[in-house]
Amino acid sequence: DGGITQSPKYLFRKEGQNVTLSCEQNLNHDAMYWYRQDPGQGLRLIYYSQIVNDFQKGDIAEGYSVSREKKESFPLTVTSAQKNPTAFYLCASSMWDRGYTEAFFGQGTRLTVV
Amino acid sequence: AQTVTQSQPEMSVQEAETVTLSCTYDTSESDYYLFWYKQPPSRQMILVIRQEAYKQQNATENRFSVNFQKAAKSFSLKISDSQLGDAAMYFCAYLWGGSEKLVFGKGTKLTVNP
- In chain B, what residues touch A48 (CB-CB under 8 Å)? 100-102
- Res B97 pLDDT > 90: no
Radius of gyration of chain A (CA): 14
Nearest CA in chain A to B106: A42
Closest residue by Cα to residue B97 from B53, B41, B36, B46: B53
A51-55, B87-91, B96-100: which has the minimum mean pLDDT? B96-100
Helix (H) or strand (E) holding A92, with range, is: strand A87-97
pLDDT beneath 70, residues of chain A: 1, 98-100
- Cα-based distances in Å from B111 to B14, B41, B82: 9, 12, 10
Backbone angles phi, psi at A63, to 5 degrees: 90, 0
C-beta atoms of B105 and A42 within 8 A:
yes
pLDDT of residue A39: 81
Q: Does A40 touch chain B (CB under 8 A)?
A: yes
Q: Give the type of residue at B113.
A: N
Residue A52's SS3 state is coil
Could you read off the pLDDT of B6-57 as tens digits, one per residue?
A: 999 999 999 999 999 999 999 998 888 999 999 998 899 999 999 999 888 9
Structure letter (DSSP) for residue A114:
-
Q: Does A27 touch chain B (CB under 8 A)?
A: no
pLDDT of residue A100: 65
C-beta atoms of B95 and A101 within 8 A:
yes
pLDDT of residue B15: 97
